[in-house]
C-alpha cells in the first residue's frame, strides 16, 4: 500500500500520466457521507434560473427558442468513439456521448452554468433589497428597465479567472448594467480579454497565475462596499449553479430513452480546474443517479491540483508546486495550482477517480473530434477523453469496473465526455489546430 502510494507520488512528480482511484469513494453514499449542500438548495437554484428566464431572453435573444433556459445538447459521437478505439487499440463498450457545454449560450463554456447563476442570485438579492422586485412571484422583466439598470450601474462585480469564468461573469454582469471587473491570470487567452473589453467589462491582467488573480481580485473587491466578488475558490453559489446540470442531464437522457440503473451504468468524464464546475456537476449527478453514475475527473499532468488535494487529504492546503510541477498547461481553463477546499471536501466521497493527461494529447483529441464529428472544443475540454481511455485500458481501470460489479453490463453503459468549452474560440484560433 505504502509502496503504491510512493510510486503514485513519484509518477505525479515526474509529470507522468496516472489513473487514480479514490479510496474514499462511497458508491451508495451510506454512513457518514455528509455534504454541506442539500437537495433543497439545488431545487432553489433551479427555480431561480427559471424565474430569470425572461431576463435572459431579453438580453440574449438566442435563448428564446429554449425559453430563456441556458442548456446544451447531449450528442452521440459514435464516429469519434470508433477513432479513439482504433488509435488506442482498445474497446470502449456501450455508447459514447458529448455533453456540449462548449456550446452553451451566452458564454460558450461550462461557466455559463455557475457563473451566470451567481450573478443572477446577487441581482435578485439586490433587487429585493431595493424594492425593484416585491417577491419571487414578481415580473422579472422589471430587472431590464432603465430604473433597474441605473441601480445596477452603481455596483461592481469582480472575479479572478483563467478566462472562461471571467467571460461568463463579465458578459452577464455587463449586460445587466453592472460595472464588471475581471482579474485575469497570465494563462488567459488574448481573445478572451478582447471579447470582454468589447462587451464593456474592464480587464486587469497579471503576470502571475490564477491564484494571484483571485487574490488580487478578492482584495480589490473587499475594499469597496459597492463591489461583489465571485470567489471561485470558495463559492457556494457557483457550486449550486453547476449542480443544476444533474437534473437537466437526467431529463435529456429520459428524452432519448437512455436508462440509468443497475443494468445501465452512466460513466461521466469531466475536466477539473479549481473544482467548482466538475464538483457541482458531480454533486448534481449523484443526486439523480446515486451509485449508478461513475464520475472521473481529468487534469493536466502539470496541474493535477484536485488529484493531489484528495489523495493527500490536504485539499487546498497542498499545491502542485509542492510536487515540483509547474502548474502551466495549454489547457488554460485547468491551469490551477490549488483546488477549492470547499469543493474537495464535498466531493471526496462522491468521485470515483481521476486521470491525468499530457498536453501533447490535447490537440490530437481536438483534431479527431473535429474530423469525425465536425465539433470543435477547446484544449481544456479535450482532457476529458483521457480518463475514458484509461478506464478501459489500464489495470487500475479494470480493477474499478470489477470492484463496482459493472463489468458484465458495460455493453449497455452510457459514457459522457463533458465538453466544457469551445464555441466562442475565434475562427483564426481554431484553424491553427483543425
Ligand X SMILES: *Cc1c(COP(=O)(O)O)cnc(C)c1O
Would you tell me which residues interact with ligand X (CB under 6 A)? 109-111, 164-165, 271-278, 333-334, 378, 380-381, 420-421
Alpha carbons 49 and 67: distance in angstroms, whole number: 11
| Minimum CB–partner distance for residue 131 and ligand X (Å) | 34
Give every strand in the sheet of 74-76, ordered side by side: 19-21, 353-357, 293-300, 266-271, 414-419, 95-100, 74-76
Minimum Å gap between C-beta 44 and ligand X is 21
Q: How far is the CB of 121 from ligand X (least distance, A)?
A: 17
Cβ atoms < 10 Å from Cβ of 410: 18
The smaller minimum CB distance to ligand X, of residues 41 and 393, is found at 41
Q: Which is nearer to ligand X, 265 or 276 (CB)?
A: 276
Q: Output the smallest distance, CB 190 to ligand X, in A.
A: 16
Tell me phi and psi for residue 163, to 5 degrees. 150, -65
Task: Count the Cβ atoms, other than its own, within 10 Å of residue 207.
Answer: 7
Pick 111 or 286: Cβ nearer ligand X: 111
When the beta carbons of 115 and 265 are compared against ligand X, the nearer one is 115
Quick check: 346 and 36 in contact, CB under 8 A? yes
Orientation angle between helical segments 190-198 and 164-176, nearest 10 degrees: 0
Nearest approach, Cβ of residue 205 and ligand X (Å): 18
To ligand X, the closest distance from the beta carbon of 245 in angstroms equals 12
Closest C-alpha among 352, 346, 349 to residue 406? 352
> Are 246 and 270 contacting, i.e. CB atoms less than 8 angstroms apart?
no
Q: Quick one: 335 or 410, whose CB is closer to ligand X?
A: 335
Half-sphere exposure of 71 (CA within 13 A, CB side): 23
The single residue listed with the C-alpha cell 437537495 is: 39
Alpha-carbon span 316 to 308, nearest angstrom? 9
The SS3 assignment for 141 reads helix
Q: 210-238 in b/e burial notation, b at 16+ Cβ within 10 A?
A: bbbbbebbbebbeeeeebbbbbbbbbbbb
Name the closest residue to ligand X (Cβ): 273
Q: What DSSP designation does 421 have?
A: B
Q: Name which of 124 and 330 has its Cβ closer to ligand X.
A: 330
The least distance separating ligand X from the CB of residue 230, rounded to whole angstroms, comes to 12
Nearer to ligand X, 77 or 306 (CB): 306
User: Which is nearer to ligand X, 151 or 171 (by Cβ)?
Assistant: 171
- What is the smallest separation between the CB atom of 179 and ligand X, expressed in angstroms? 23
Q: Which residues contact 196 (CB under 8 A, 6 or more apart)?
A: 166, 167, 170, 171, 180, 182, 203
Closest CB to ligand X among 275 and 387? 275
206 — phi, psi (to 5°)? -125, 150
Alpha helices in 52-201 (DSSP H): 53-59, 78-88, 111-129, 146-152, 164-176, 190-198
Angstrom distance (rounded) from CA 325 to CA 424: 30
* Selection from 335, 386, 331, 387 nearest residue 359 by Cα: 331
Reported residue count of the chain is 434
* Backbone phi and psi for residue 408, each to the nearest 5 degrees, phi listed first: -75, -15
Q: Is 127 or 381 the residue whose CB approaches ligand X more closely?
A: 381
Q: How near is the Cβ of 154 to ligand X at its closest, in Å?
A: 29
Residue 92 CB, shortest distance to ligand X, in Å, is 22
Q: Quick one: 46 or 109, whose CB is closer to ligand X?
A: 109
Q: How far is the CB of 337 from ligand X (least distance, A)?
A: 12
Amino acid at each position: 500500500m505504502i509502496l503504491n502510494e510512493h510510486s503514485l507520488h513519484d509518477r505525479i512528480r515526474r509529470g507522468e500520466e496516472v489513473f487514480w482511484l479514490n479510496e474514499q469513494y462511497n458508491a451508495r453514499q451510506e454512513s457518514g457521507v455528509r455534504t454541506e449542500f442539500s437537495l433543497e438548495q439545488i431545487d432553489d437554484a433551479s427555480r431561480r434560473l427559471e424565474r430569470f428566464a425572461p431576463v435572459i431572453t431579453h438580453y440574449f435573444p438566442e435563448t428564446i427558442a429554449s425559453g430563456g433556459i441556458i442548456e446544451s445538447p447531449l450528442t452521440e459521437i459514435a464516429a469519434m468513439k470508433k477513432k479513439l478505439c482504433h488509435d488506442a487499440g482498445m474497446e470502449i463498450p456501450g455508447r459514447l456521448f458529448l455533453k456540449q457545454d462548449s456550446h452553451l449560450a451566452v458564454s460558450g463554456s461550462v461557466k455559463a452554468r455557475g457563473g451566470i447563476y451567481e450573478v443572477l442570485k446577487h441581482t435578485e438579492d439586490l433587487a429585493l433589497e431595493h424594492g425593484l422586485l416585491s417577491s419571487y412571484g414578481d415580473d422579472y422583466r422589471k430587472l431590464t428597465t432603465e430604473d433597474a439598470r441605473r441601480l445596477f450601474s452603481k455596483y461592481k462585480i469582480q472575479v479572478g479567472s483563467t478566462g472562461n469564468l471571467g467571460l461568463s461573469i463579465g458578459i452577464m454582469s455587463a449586460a445587466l448594467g453592472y460595472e464588471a471587473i475581471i482579474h485575469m491570470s497570465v494563462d488567459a487567452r488574448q481573445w478572451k480579454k478582447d471579447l470582454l473589453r468589447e462587451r464593456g467589462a474592464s480587464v486587469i491582467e497579471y503576470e502571475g497565475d490564477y491564484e494571484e488573480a483571485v487574490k488580487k481580485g478578492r482584495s480589490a473587491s473587499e475594499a469597496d462596499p459597492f463591489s461583489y466578488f465571485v470567489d471561485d475558490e470558495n463559492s457556494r453559489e457557483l457550486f449550486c449553479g453547476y449542480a443544476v446540470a444533474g437534473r437537466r442531464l437526467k431529463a435529456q437522457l429520459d428524452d432519448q430513452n437512455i436508462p440509468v440503473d443497475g443494468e445501465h451504468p452512466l460513466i461521466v468524464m469531466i475536466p477539473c480546474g479549481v473544482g467548482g464546475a466538475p464538483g457541482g456537476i458531480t454533486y448534481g449527478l449523484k443526486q439523480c443517479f446515486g451509485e449508478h453514475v461513475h464520475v472521473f475527473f481529468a487534469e493536466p499532468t502539470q496541474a493535477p491540483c484536485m488529484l493531489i488535494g484528495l489523495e493527500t487529504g490536504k485539499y487546498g492546503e497542498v499545491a502542485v508546486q509542492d510536487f515540483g510541477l509547474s502548474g502551466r498547461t495549454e489547457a488554460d481553463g485547468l491551469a490551477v495550482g490549488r483546488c477549492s477546499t470547499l469543493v474537495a471536501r464535498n466531493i471526496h466521497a462522491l468521485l470515483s477517480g481521476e486521470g491525468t493527461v499530457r498536453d501533447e494529447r490535447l490537440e490530437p483529441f481536438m483534431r479527431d473530434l473535429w474530423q469525425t464529428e465536425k465539433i470543435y472544443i477547446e484544449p481544456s475540454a479535450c482532457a476529458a477523453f483521457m480518463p475514458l481511455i484509461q478506464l478501459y485500458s489500464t489495470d487500475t481501470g479494470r480493477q474499478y469496473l470489477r470492484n463496482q460489479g459493472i463489468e458484465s453490463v458495460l455493453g449497455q453503459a452510457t459514457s459522457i465526455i463533458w465538453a466544457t468549452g469551445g464555441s466562442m474560440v475565434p475562427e483564426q484560433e481554431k484553424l491553427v489546430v483543425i
